Structure formats: structure tokens, C-alpha cells
Amino acid sequence: MRFARDHKRGKTAYRKGDPFVGTVKVARFLFHRGILEPDGNPMDALVTGPKVTKQVWDAFDAPEEQE
């Protein structure tokens, strides 16, 4: 991912075209606001694709049955 436009976070300024170094969660947030764009990085598929929700398979996490 790279910056699609100039962006400032705190005291750090990023220029258009600078590579993004951060987590997928932050990248998704910035991508959906038009601040990041894909550049062929392996992270692109995780950021631009649909959000994956985890399945609950553990019996302790499942709701208890009522009689």
C-alpha cells in the first residue's frame, strides 16, 4: 500500500507515493477513506478484500442451550 495523497498523523507527514508501513487494520481504515491505494504489495489483498470474520468453533464460546 502507498499513500494516494498527502497525509499527516500527529507530527509525522507522509507525501503522496510514500509506502505505508503499518498494520492491516490501520491500512483498511485509511484505504476506505481514500488515503491509501494498492501498489502490488502482498498486503493489498487483505486490505482491499472483504473483511474476514472468525468463526466460533470452541464450545466454551458458544451460547448455552436453554431447556
**pLDDT tens-digit series, residues 6-23:** 999 889 999 999 999 989
Note the pLDDT of residue 51: 76
Note the pLDDT of residue 20: 93
**Beta bridge pairs of residue 28:** none
Element (H, E) at 37: strand 36-37
- Which amino acid appears at position 54 of this protein? K
27-46 average pLDDT score = 91
pLDDT in tens, 46-58: 899 887 676 656 5
Who contacts 6 (Cβ-Cβ below 8 Å, separation ≥6)?
Answer: 13, 14, 15, 16
Question: Which single residue is written with the C-alpha cell 507525501?
Answer: 15
pTM for the structure as a whole: 0.69
* Residue 38: C-alpha distances to residues 34, 43, 45, 49, 54 (Å): 11, 9, 9, 11, 25
